[in-house]
Chain A
């Protein structure tokens, strides 16, 4: 009864009454997505097996019921029998299901033991959930040291219906995760703010990303290609807009990609001792702001009160720099304002300078990367709201 690999079935039951199996090519519309890993294939087959078993029981039980509905009607002159128990039958229909369940549990157990075995990976990557994007750090194996942030790249106009929707609407990102084909990839998941879940259906991988904890999962993709998934745990306003895109490439292409990333990172690295001008900081800060803060505080700085306060005219953005640095570095517990300490000193200096001098804010404060470094190095848990000396350049 177990279906052979590669056979693709879409099982569907008609809306009412009779059930039927529709033989259809899987195109990710009626059935689980086409598996790209051994584990996903096992899940796929197990699901097909379950459908068949359920279908057979369904037909048997409801065959009896609908026959009875048809034949044992008063209007057809049926006279009610008066039997109301039968120990034999009752024991049988308790025991037989137990054996069927054992038959189902057996393959499931094997798969569970396999999918929990994250040992001996070729490459280890940490996936960090942020409201609302994914951060990737290549921790071990080829590509070690590469890290970047991956966010939805579908343009707003498409979402708002002002432009036609592209073929990968809501399933595309600016910087996809890239991994080599045929290698065991271990994914460590964690989060920065609330719980997210890293899910790529074709890999048979879904793992919650829990702030403060690290969990792991793994996959080994058999085929090169582009695979897409979503955050699968409600994580706030833009939960529906933080997809996952994975490119599985050949070993050579992967090596080339790693080189390119290393070069890009070297080029983008800021000299931490550089003293920036206000204009440079504001320009850089605007980029950092739109990548990290605009989802909540909005590009125009007006926020979405009361959930997300305006920064334009806000007390903190116009008050002591220390408070401003504090909230950006440490976040504010109990609110969606998370810590942004993962940003570099330069990025933090830039975004703060930008916020203090954009829109209607005109404090004239300039925060340098060195200031951020000082604050970071002499704080432990929470930073006292001490003022930071401001302004090197005008």
Chain B
């Protein structure tokens, strides 16, 4: 089966050899996985900045008690759009960018399986982003129902809600196409000799993630479509007066929402599993158990959704089921952490920036894992659901988890992408600034939540003032630290010490067999994997 695809990909590679368009048209028409990967990454970083500015808007208002800057509705639209933009605009596209760049290089394929569809799935994203961002300028302002868009509040919103629904449809289509492409590429285009159980873990985690995406993006599309028809076409899915139920929305949304959080963390696990062995100069401990753990997490993610809904008024049997199932996720997640630590054990470690971020990831992500376990205990969750504790928890897993893994991956593969070494000084500075400001921002939020500060409020009781002030200072610092990242990357793209093909002493894998920078076309002849 795979040989057929090879021939196809091979032929395609020659088609546009040397005479691809230049300038802007190169980027608009490109079908090259490396170009598309780069565009995904630039897009994601741009959205990261937009989402970050919104976060600044939120933290600026919350710096002191009292209302200073924004109308409460505007504040709500900031929290809503911050969430939507970071999830759908920054984190998810960034991982797809990594998939585009790295999967073909890591499995020895010449490109993605569906090169034109790849272009299309990228170019849908800016369209969706424009719809999202312009909703700020519509009458009534951007949606303010929270990124979860819970009905009936979302049914009440102004026309920007329709823009958002449409944007979600488009992003969903983009994700589904991207996922199909990734699955087909991985299953059909691996170099001869690369069996499934020889695939690099990053490829494994993305394969599983892609299945998750295909399973749940349509569910999200369904949920928001029901909002749309409730808003405009007289249906009553979520309106009790018409026989509907607002909680139905939450079930459908969270059925998407929980796998979604693994969609944002599994590829991060993959990146970390590539980096730790490289800098420990020692093979990954427990490769097979890593694969099984990833698959178990993915499967469990479909039966835990109602842990987001512990206070809607479920019967005891439901509460118990969802609590037990959720607690189980700690087992495979624990296995991963233990495997990483065992990989480091008796290695010969060096701490270049990718490794710093990877170790930082393990440390801080695990704290998020612990708070997740605490949230899973339903009686405790009654106290912390919809408080700043949850805000702290998911930023520990999404920022210190997904985002730090993305930074780790960027520094790790940047020399391969640009052909230059980045500045280690800037990289290290970025790491230390990020991890310190991250904790200054989010650690106090645990206390705020425990003490009873609800989330999504523009103003708070005075006993929360000092921790909010600290969190705001941290947020400004965290945001500014990301400029260091921008400078480091731009500087590296422009020049710097030449990178070797191997780049890192302990690196292992097909991507390190091609020169740095990776040529426009790679693996036109599939390599052989022993």
Binding site for B on A (CB under 8 A): 12-13, 15-16, 28-33, 39-40, 42-43, 46-47, 50-51, 54, 57-58, 61-62, 64-65, 68-69, 72-75, 78-85, 89-90, 93-94, 97-98, 101, 104-105, 108-109, 111-113, 115-116, 158-161, 165, 167-171, 189, 193-195, 197, 199, 201, 204-208, 210-213, 215-216, 229-241, 304-307, 333-336
Q: Given A80-B281, A237-B72, decide whether A74 and B374 contact each other with a Cβ distance below 8 A.
A: no
Is B177's beta carbon under 8 Å from chain A?
A: no
Is B239's beta carbon under 8 Å from chain A?
A: yes
Is B460 within 8 A of A104, CB to CB?
no
Subset of 6 A-B contacts with CB under 8 Å: A33-B451, A62-B366, A82-B282, A210-B240, A210-B246, A213-B313
Is A233 within 8 A of B386, CB to CB?
yes
Chain A residues whose C-beta falls within 8 Å of the C-beta of B373 in the assembled complex: 50, 54, 104
Is B57's beta carbon under 8 Å from chain A?
A: no
Chain B residues whose C-beta falls within 8 Å of the C-beta of A194 in the assembled complex: 152-153, 156
Smallest CB-CB separation from A54: which chain B residue? B370
In the complex, number of A-B residue pairs with CB atoms less than 8 Å apart: 300
Is B87's beta carbon under 8 Å from chain A?
A: no
**Main DSSP-derived SS at the B contact region:** helix
Is A101 within 8 A of B72, CB to CB?
no
Binding site for A on B (CB under 8 A): 65-68, 71-73, 76, 139-141, 144-146, 150, 152-153, 155-156, 158, 230-231, 239-241, 245-247, 280-289, 311-313, 315-316, 319-320, 323-324, 327-328, 330-331, 334-335, 337-338, 341-351, 359, 362-363, 366-367, 370, 373-374, 377-380, 382-383, 385-387, 435-436, 439-440, 443, 447, 450-452, 454, 456-463, 467
Is A43 within 8 A of B383, CB to CB?
yes
Q: With A and B bound together, what is the CA distance between A190 and B436 in angstroms? A: 44
Q: With A and B bound together, what is the CA distance between A307 and B328 in angstroms? A: 45
Smallest CB-CB separation from B138: which chain A residue? A306
Q: With A and B bound together, what is the CA distance between A233 and B349 in angstroms? A: 47
Chain B residues whose C-beta falls within 8 Å of the C-beta of A333 in the assembled complex: 239, 241
Is A16 within 8 A of B436, CB to CB?
yes
Chain B residues whose C-beta falls within 8 Å of the C-beta of A215 in the assembled complex: 312-313
Is B382 within 8 A of A47, CB to CB?
no
Q: With A and B bound together, what is the CA distance between A46 and B458 in angstroms? A: 31
Within the complex, what minimum Cβ distance (angstroms) separates B181 from chain A?
32
Is A78 within 8 A of B349, CB to CB?
yes
Contact for B153 among A46, A116, A168, A235, CB less than 8 A = A235
Is A80 within 8 A of B65, CB to CB?
no
Contact for B312 among A32, A201, A208, CB less than 8 A = A208
Within the complex, what minimum Cβ distance (angstroms) separates B232 from chain A?
8
Chain B residues whose C-beta falls within 8 Å of the C-beta of A105 in the assembled complex: 323-324, 327
Q: Given A28-B452, A75-B350, A212-B241, decide whether A334 and B447 contact each other with a Cβ distance below 8 A.
A: no
Residue in A159, A197, A208, A305 with the greatest tally of chain B CB atoms within 10 Å = A208
Is B454 within 8 A of A232, CB to CB?
yes
Is B349 within 8 A of A72, CB to CB?
yes
Chain B residues whose C-beta falls within 8 Å of the C-beta of A62 in the assembled complex: 363, 366
Smallest CB-CB separation from A66: which chain B residue? B363
Chain A residues whose C-beta falls within 8 Å of the C-beta of B319 in the assembled complex: 112, 116
Within the complex, what minimum Cβ distance (angstroms) separates B434 from chain A?
12
Is A16 within 8 A of B435, CB to CB?
yes
Q: With A and B bound together, what is the CA distance between A101 and B374 in angstroms? A: 11
Contact for A58 among B288, B370, B454, CB less than 8 A = B370
Is B383 within 8 A of A32, CB to CB?
yes
Is A47 within 8 A of B348, CB to CB?
no
Smallest CB-CB separation from A158: which chain B residue? B66
Is B341 within 8 A of A68, CB to CB?
yes
Within the complex, what minimum Cβ distance (angstroms) separates B369 from chain A?
9
Contact for B458 among A28, A171, A240, CB less than 8 A = A240
Q: With A and B bound together, what is the CA distance between A260 and B108 in angstroms? A: 82
Q: With A and B bound together, what is the CA distance between A237 and B452 in angstroms? A: 20
Q: With A and B bound together, what is the CA distance between A90 and B290 in angstroms? A: 10
Contact for A238 among B72, B150, B343, B363, CB less than 8 A = B72
Chain A residues whose C-beta falls within 8 Å of the C-beta of B245 in the assembled complex: 212-213
The list of the 4 closest CB pairs from A to B, nearest first, reads A212-B240, A215-B313, A240-B457, A80-B348
Q: Given A16-B439, A211-B246, decide whether A159 and B67 contact each other with a Cβ distance below 8 A.
A: yes
Smallest CB-CB separation from B332: which chain A residue? A94
Is B331 within 8 A of A108, CB to CB?
no
